[in-house]
């Protein structure tokens, strides 16, 4: 499967399962871009341990976004890695 197809499927499945827009910043409502997938378990574990999240197994899914200010879903998988303005 191509990298572009993986990104499209990931975003579609997250939105369908959790009813949230995974590529919309929950803080500033800016558009986010996937720049990489981390697939190596040891790297994932190291990051989650550093964040204190490795031992957490069960949690509720994210709350659905209800603001009317969220733009319609538009996928732009250009090579740009510049974050949306106003988001730090």
The angle formed by the CA atoms of residues 6, 46 and 50, to the nearest 5 degrees, is 115
Q: Is 21 exposed, middle or buried (0-12, 13-18, 19+ CB in 10 A)?
A: buried
CA distance 79 to 56: 34
Is the pLDDT assigned to residue 85 strictly greater than 80?
Answer: no
Residues 18-69: tens digit of each pLDDT: 777 888 887 888 888 878 888 899 999 999 899 888 887 766 766 676 666 5
Parent domain of 5:
1-88
Compare 70 and 25 and report the one with higher pLDDT.
25
Collapsing DSSP states into helix, strand and coil, what is residue 17?
helix
pTM above 0.75, yes or no: no
Number of domains in the chain: 1
């Amino acid at each position: 499967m191509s990298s572009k197809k993986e990104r499209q499927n990931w975003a579609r499945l997250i939105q369908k399962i959790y009813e949230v827009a995974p590529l919309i910043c929950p803080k500033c409502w800016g558009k986010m871009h996937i720049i990489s997938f981390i697939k190596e378990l040891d790297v994932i574990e190291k990051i989650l341990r550093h964040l204190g999240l490795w031992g957490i197994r069960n949690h509720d899914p994210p709350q659905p976004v209800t603001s009317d200010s969220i733009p319609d879903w538009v996928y732009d998988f250009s090579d740009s890695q510049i974050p949306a303005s106003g988001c730090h």
